[in-house]
Amino acid sequence: MSPSLHTVPAPSAHHAAPEFCPGCKARLGVNFCPQCGQESVLHPPSMGEFVAEFIGHYVAIEGKLWRTLGQLLLRPGGLTKAYMAGQRVNYMQPLRLFLTLSVILFALLQFSGFHVGDDHAKPTAPGGVAFTADVKRNGSDAVAPPLAAGATRYTVSLGYYGISLLREGKSFEFGFKLNIPDRREPSVLDSIGHAVFPHFDDKMQHFSDLPPATKAELMTHGFFARMPYVIFFMVPVFALFLKLLYLPSRRPYGEYLLFALHVNAFGFFVMVLMHVMPWVWGLAALGLVLALYIGLAMQNVYGGTPFATAVRWLVLTVAYLLVLMVLIVQLMAVLAFTAG
């Protein structure tokens, strides 16, 4: 009598092939199931086999990783063109590439002590880059300390939202702010706040009274918990902007989504380098490389005159950064209003 289809695989000591595939239940007789391709000899893997499988799958499998990175880094738009031309088996899947590089970036940020604090919660280390986030009511701001000699601050405001860049010697600080109008002034933001968050004013006061270190801890935790979702959400937004900019070409949206995944993956790679870059000129150079890369990739994939590509690149960059700024500030506002 043949064994049951649900027979438990043989112990690792015997390494005997079962009669039926444990995966799809097809009859075996070879080392691999001819129906689904699963191995027929199963045993609990050792630590060495786990490591070998990881390296083989992500690093050494037919050189996929190296070919993919070569195309991504050295040929702007080349990976997208190869994928659209049907050359897919030799490269990592776009979504896997995007997720892999994003995980590396956020892991590096988290384990290197990256933090997001409110204004002046922590001084920026010389040559470092810091991010601040704050939510305040107009008229309740404390007087900010004067800028140090040689320091320069650039600020851009968009309604309730604001973003700033402070350069002080070799240090940079990017700031995001949500300025809520005084409660005595009727505003759409106040109305939405009271509708979404019960006891809106009490929440605002509670957050304002928190010590700077507590605010920094709250914002940093929220950044790592929620920011990956924001970045992932921005990929289809990036693709939508491209679709609108190249609307006359009538390309399917999926092609722009593919391009967005590849370009954002390159952006993650550059941001990893920026995070470990110790020189100011290196940060500027990497930022320039990223800007040029996007423009060259657009030119190589979608064609058109260089001037038209430059105009589209400018519109795309401004629109993308504005949406990202609003989402980041909104995320920080939610963290502030939900602080326990």
For the chain, 340 residues long, the average pLDDT of each consecutive 10-residue run is: 43 54 62 62 64 59 75 92 86 90 89 68 55 66 61 75 74 73 66 69 75 79 85 94 92 94 95 82 87 95 93 94 83 72
Rounded Cα gap, residues 340 and 337, in angstroms: 9
Q: What pLDDT is stored for residue 300 in this prediction?
A: 94
Rounded Cα gap, residues 320 and 312, in angstroms: 12
Q: What pLDDT is stored for residue 12 in this prediction?
A: 43
Q: What pLDDT is stored for residue 31 in this prediction?
A: 61
Q: What pLDDT is stored for residue 33 in this prediction?
A: 66
Rounded Cα gap, residues 298 and 304, in angstroms: 9
Q: What pLDDT is stored for residue 190 in this prediction?
A: 67
Quote the pTM value.
Answer: 0.72
Q: What pLDDT is stored for residue 241 in this prediction?
A: 96
Q: What pLDDT is stored for residue 240 in this prediction?
A: 96
Structure tokens at 212: 């700077």
Distances (CA, A) of 175 to 258, 261, 328: 31, 27, 11
Where does residue 221 fall: left (phi above 0), alpha (psi -120 to 50 degrees), or beta otherwise? alpha
Rounded Cα gap, residues 221 and 115, in angstroms: 9
Angle at 63 between CA 62 and CA 64, to 5 degrees: 90
Q: Choose among 147, 157, 203, 140: nearest CA to 339.
A: 203
CB count in 10 Å sphere of residue 28:
19
H helix runs in 34-185, sequence order = 47-55, 64-74, 78-84, 94-111
Rounded Cα gap, residues 135 and 129, in angstroms: 21
Rounded Cα gap, residues 102 and 269, in angstroms: 8
